[in-house]
Amino acid sequence: MVSDPFTPCRKHFCKVFIQYSSMASDFFYPNMGGVEEHIFNLSQCLLARGHKVIVITHSYGDRKGIRHMTNGLKVYYIPIRVFYNQVVLPTMICNIPLLRYILLREQIDIVHGHSAFSTLAHETMNVAKLLGLRSVFTDHSLFGFADLSAVVTNKFLEISLANCNHCICVSHTGKIHYQRFDRSIMIQVHWCIPGKENTVLRAKVHRDKVSVIPNAVDTAYFTPNPCRRPNDDETINVVVVSRLVYRKGVDLLAGILPKLKHLPNVHFIIGGDGPKRALLEEIRERNNMQDRVVMLGALEHAKVRDVLVQGHIFLNTSLTEAYCMAIVEAAACGLQVVSTKVGGIPEVLPTSLMILTEPTVESVYRGLREAIRREMEKKQITSSRYMNGSIDGLVPTPSRTSYTGLCAFERNQIVANLYNWNNVTERTEKVYRTALQEAPVTLELMMKK
């Protein structure tokens, strides 16, 4: 590689690039999501630690060419046509000249790809291997083995990761979904296995080359603000921030809303957009809950915190998740989390911050009612302390109560101790160093693999 004459001492150069998912997930700005946030925050931390980081993604509308973001993060919006659901057409050949030019121009050492659905990610990693560079891959999703889409995706992933230096998973726990058909009756059997094993089995990667590094959250930004909540003693706000698609369990949410129409003090704030939005609006109108169910539509990530701090409870009804960033952000904002027990969610937060339920309407409803009960108990205690408080210094505030829950700021501190981007960056750097220590692979050996 040609040395940079303007930099007397070049540090490890690494490239963090975008993945695009065939699941209609957004993977970099101007679109926002969990993967996009992971890439951006990891890039910012690597920049702060002295690395050079660039991002490669396809163009978004008029956003083409080179753009610079916070702290000089360089983003290449390359002019590649989108094929389906924000995924570029997988040619494996046509984009080689452009990707090769960028990697050589920026003197890249490591290519770090994100998401199994991203064609551009896999193509860039393969071009990097042909140039003798190192490649690291982060898997943000869980897959089954039975349906046709999973079979095709897993085979493609196996080919793409055959020469990858190291893989990263965002959680330990996952589920493999096996489907058995018997006389038009479909039975689903769920076997719980580590998410690391899910990647090992799907992509046939040696388990020693797979590490688990979770996501993180900026707890300095996602902080509680109880003043934004309703100031009365009755209203309970339940917040839902999610893409309104089947995989996020919107049908479960639609089944829960009618069960709560007899509780006039429970209000819903729903942020997000998607094909299932019409279903929620229909349920809202059918049950005359227009004044209690607010549909905010699509949200910019910068506005998510402003929505979260208005709530007491955060509801997540996902049917499958490798790692749910939304519940971590909600807990950091001091909300009681109620979530379905699927994928890697059980390992994300401790039981003191989260109520886990089965992915059924009845189970989620029971979990939500328990969270409402806790919040009402806390409200009654707070009101009692105010009514009996020593405003004039005469009546002491009770020192002991029956409520044993955590306050909003205690929840934020717990999340801050569990997840922070500096820790994630340090662990990712160890993976980079391990990859850099590996000897380059010859073309002959790559073809054999």
Per-residue pLDDT, 224: 94
Clarify whether residues 242 and 202 are in a common domain: no
Residue 73 lies in a domain: yes
Per-residue pLDDT, 415: 93
Per-residue pLDDT, 143: 63
Render the burial of 306-336: b for 16+ CB within 10 Å, e for the rest.
ebbbbbbbbbbbbbbbbbbbbbbbbbbbbbb
User: 44-72, pLDDT tens digit by residue?
Assistant: 999 998 889 999 998 888 888 999 998 98
Per-residue pLDDT, 89: 76
- Indicate which CATH number applies to the domain containing 299: 3.40.50.2000
Clarify whether residues 247 and 357 are in a common domain: yes
* Residue 291 or residue 81, greater confidence: 291
Residue 412 lies in a domain: yes
Clarify whether residues 177 and 34 are in a common domain: yes
**Stretch 218-247: mean pLDDT, rounded?**
89
Residue 391 lies in a domain: no
Clarify whether residues 151 and 262 are in a common domain: no
pTM for the full predicted model: 0.75
**Stretch 258-278: mean pLDDT, rounded?**
92
The answer to whether 319 and 246 are in contact (CB under 8 A) is yes
Residue 279 lies in a domain: yes
Burial class (CB in 10 A: 0-12, 13-18, 19+), 232: exposed
The answer to whether 281 and 306 are in contact (CB under 8 A) is no
Q: How confident is the model at residue 420 (pLDDT cuts 50, 70, 90)?
A: confident
Q: How confident is the model at residue 203 (pLDDT cuts 50, 70, 90)?
A: low
Burial class (CB in 10 A: 0-12, 13-18, 19+), 19: buried
Clarify whether residues 408 and 286 are in a common domain: yes
How far, rounded to the nearest angstrom, does the alpha carbon of residue 158 sit from its chain's CA centroid? 23
Residue 115 lies in a domain: yes
Clarify whether residues 35 and 59 are in a common domain: yes
Sign of the CA dihedral running 191, 195, 201, 202: positive
Measured CA to CA, the distance from residue 315 to residue 309 in angstroms comes to 14
Residues whose CB falls within 8 Å of the CB of residue 6, separated by 6 or more in sequence, listed in order? none
Q: How confident is the model at residue 9 (pLDDT cuts 50, 70, 90)?
A: very low
Clarify whether residues 268 and 361 are in a common domain: yes
Count how many domains the chain has.
2
Clarify whether residues 148 and 287 are in a common domain: no
Clarify whether residues 149 and 291 are in a common domain: no
Clarify whether residues 323 and 439 are in a common domain: no
**Average pLDDT along the chain:** 79
User: 312-341, pLDDT tens digit by residue?
Assistant: 999 999 988 878 889 999 999 999 999 999
Residue 1 lies in a domain: no
Per-residue pLDDT, 260: 92
Clarify whether residues 205 and 332 are in a common domain: no
Residue 394 has pLDDT above 70, yes or no: no
Residue 303 lies in a domain: yes
Q: How confident is the model at residue 405 (pLDDT cuts 50, 70, 90)?
A: confident
Residue 36 has pLDDT above 70, yes or no: yes
Q: How confident is the model at residue 34 (pLDDT cuts 50, 70, 90)?
A: confident
Tell me which long-range contacts 424-429 makes (C-beta under 8 A, separation of at least 24): 424/42, 424/45, 424/213, 424/214, 424/215, 424/216, 425/42, 425/45, 425/46, 425/49, 427/211, 427/213, 428/42, 428/46, 428/168, 428/213, 429/46, 429/49
69 forms bridges with which residues in the sheet? none
Per-residue pLDDT, 383: 56
Residue 271 lies in a domain: yes
Clarify whether residues 266 and 410 are in a common domain: yes
Sole residue written with tokens 């819903």: 268
Tell me which long-range contacts 362-370 makes (C-beta under 8 A, separation of at least 24): 364/252, 364/256, 364/315, 364/317, 364/338, 364/340, 365/256, 365/259, 365/260, 367/338, 368/238, 368/256, 368/260, 368/313, 368/315, 368/338, 370/338
Q: In terms of Cα–Cα distance, which of 210, 201, 119 is closest to 164?
A: 210
Give the structural domain span for 414: 226-385+403-419
